[in-house]
Amino acid sequence: MEIRQANEQDINAIINIDQRIIGSDRRKGEISQAVIEERCLIISSEGELFGFLIYHVHFFECCFISLLMIDPAHQRKGLASALLSRIKQISPTVKIFSSTNESNESMKRVFTKNGFSKSGKVDNLDEGDPEIIYFIKRIGE
């Protein structure tokens, strides 16, 4: 497995994974922008893309993981954990945040398994399904 910064040649493959998971390509602009701004990590092997992580630093000037997606055919193999480990090493800020819906049990387990702790919740984004905020510090801090 290789984890590296995504480049423009990866954009279509990233969008394809996202589209298979959410059922539309509505985030293609966001994905393309993240790749161009070097805020997208991918995990692949022998030219096959398995997943990606996108982050930004607009959340109170802290690193915020806004998307972490693994191709459904490759889930539950530690790939999300590998991407989280990498961002914990290279984060542009000491504090790293992310979030998931309260109903997303698999993502909550991934965060807990990787040392993230609950940091709060936001109501009223998805009716009846609060967004849980998670936090961890960059490795070595």
Q: Give 11's pLDDT tier (boundaries 50, 70, 90).
A: very high
Q: Calculate ∠ Cα 97-35-115, nearest 5°.
A: 25
DSSP assignments along the chain, one per residue: -EEEE--GGGHHHHHHHHHHHHSS-TTHHHHHHHHHTT-EEEEEETTEEEEEEEEEEEETTEEEEEEEEE-GGG-SSSHHHHHHHHHHHH-SSSEEEEEEETT-HHHHHHHHHTT-EEEEEE-SSSTT-PEEEEEEEPTT-
Q: Give 140's pLDDT tier (boundaries 50, 70, 90).
A: confident
Question: Which residues make beta-bridge pairs with 100?
Answer: 132
Q: Is the per-residue pLDDT at 141 higher than 90? A: no
Entry pTM = 0.94
**Cα Rg of the chain (Å, integer):** 14
**85-108 pLDDT, tens per residue?**
999 999 999 999 999 999 999 999
Compute the average pLDDT of residues 7-27.
95
Compute the average pLDDT of residues 23-35.
96
Q: What is the pLDDT of residue 41?
A: 98
Compute the average pLDDT of residues 52-77.
96
